[in-house]
A and B are shown apart, each in its own frame.
Chain A
Amino acid sequence: MYRYDDYDHAIVQARVAQFRGQTERYLAGKLNDDEFRPLRLQNGLYIQRHGPMLRLAVPYGLISAAQLRRFADVARRYDRGFGHFTTRHNLQLNWVKLAEVPQILADLARAELHAIQTSGNCIRNVTTDHFAGVAADEIADPRPWAEILRQWSSFHPEFAYLPRKFKVAISGATEDRAAIQVHDLGLQVVRDPNNSAEIGFKVYAGGGLGRTPLLGQVVREFLPWQHLLSYTEALVRVFNRHGRRDNAYKARIKILVKALGREEFAQQVEAEWAHLKDGPSTLTVTEVERVSQQFAAPAYETLAADDLCHLAHLREDKAFSRWIDRNVHAHKVPGYAAVTLSLKRPGAAPGDATSEQMEAAADLAERYSFGEIRVSHEQNLILADVPQRELYTVWHRAKATGLAAPTVGLIHDLIACPGGDFCSLANARSLPIAAAIQERFEDLDYQHDIGELELNISGCMNSCGHHHLGAIGILGVDKNGEEWYQVTLGGRQGNDARIGEVIGRSFAAAEVPDAIERLIGVYLVHRHADERFIDTFDRIGVETFRGAAYLPKPAHPHHSRRVANG
């Protein structure tokens, strides 16, 4: 992974010193709240329901074992011994003290970690595919490009006060696992149509969730890699100059792209880019190689595609094989696998990890996965390079620290924002709804029978829980001070990304598990063999589901069985 050189260290240290000064001036009354707000936000610091919340960056989701231990240490020392992994490769600490934040940032900086631009109206943490570098369908590893963009966007002098936040995602594979179409800027690595030895990017702009969910529009079919920074600079400049600043809800670039239309927006970017193209920010082979070398493949052993011992465990241990089925993913190198350590467990918020769990994951990474961990946008941790022969041991150890829920991709693996329990923006709580659904569907056989299902929960229109992209999406809304929940169906991420459709009136909190169970009941009744929830939805349409959602009582074949199973 990318390691800081003296320049990187000096820049991040300078940021720590700068923020220490800003915090001191604020505490001494020399900066007022309005002046301090954007400064603290650009260092990830919110003032939240319980006090300050600090959002730390995991640049493009990649973190070393030593860095994860540093997170664990910081969470224990300055917080309550746990943190919350978000949908955008960040770790949030909910109980920090404002006066201690400069020291937290100093501790993090020593481990090459920071909270730079994790919030505020600036270019945010670049996100990517959690299987980057190990996926078989990869055209190029997106991480060097993400690192190049990280450096370019960090302390960009022109873009610290954009109309609104600006999020970039990049995918290097043919299947998009980075939700690039719902980002302000989405970059898809593609081959040069005229020279397959060269790569570049297909550029999407104007995607986003929130109050006005929109998918990104293709503004350039092919951008040669050399021009990544000059083109991006042109695009963000058009946004900075022309994005709306009169209404925060209409200030994202998606509104500008929509207002101008795709072609006019793209044309304005091209016109700006014409001046910047081939200028000093044109990337060089030397720089791309310098960065790429740091993401070189680890020293893989030559292994058989199937480890005999592993196969034996698979045959003998049903719980293990279930975990393999859900939580272990194909790897491009024979004999290796990628493992999801689930951060979904009953009684804890999705994405929460205790310091002990972070340390356990760091231990596993060090022993079995070349010392690196990924954070996925589904709020789990990934060990990307585990030899197949070690999977049984990894499973046992993960189980011992509550990281082995065999439910990846199932209803239990839901995505949820911290919601009204923690976040001052929220209209409603997310976590009790998540817990109620997880409890309703806790039976493993039932979950596995339902199969793949993305259920996403957001506590407000800001959509941090990506509810628009869930096959089932749940959105918290406020009705005269009461918490209600609106349900959407048919959303999905990936190449075929789609925004879910609202089914009708919202539900009271207590009704939600029943409504979800009725919707799933419709699927179970209508599904064909091997059909996922989303496939059945596509085939039979929203009306059948809508009709069932508002029936007075749950009615589906599994309810009695679940009770019988206790």
Chain B
Amino acid sequence: MDPWDLAKPRALAYLEHMKTLLTALLVASATLISAQSLPNVSVLKLDGSKTELSSLREEGKPMIVSFWATWCKPCINELNAMAEYYDDLHEETGVTLVAVSIDDSRTSPKVGPFVAGQGWDYTVVLDPNSDLRRAMGVNNVPHTFLLNGAGEVVWQANKYVPGEEEVLVAEVRKLK
């Protein structure tokens, strides 16, 4: 007897089972409304040490998570535009802006010198394996999230257009 004949019913049953699971997952996803919170993924600080994104937030205060790269012009424009508001906004609302660089090993060594040359006061972290990017469902950069004091995403934009910083600043003030 062909070994495949023996294996076939089991293989088919397995496939059927997988199909069930996938269908269930899709059905569940269709009905699920999720206000997101931060995924449990570690990122690298510029000195090479590991940290959790959630530990960079001031307790009970809002946080902006902005995905960017040194080669992404709109990302840099956005972070430059926010830089003018950041110090005052931080004082006023306690908001922390974490700029998550998705630069890979080609461009990640440039992140430190680049940030210095821009004069940003943000906390900058690296996500070289794109673990956080995938976990937060980020497709393109820039992609910016605003989280409230409870760590839930309350606003997001997967682009930057000039003037959007004003919208973001207003959203942060709403959380005060």
Q: Do A and B come from one complex?
A: no
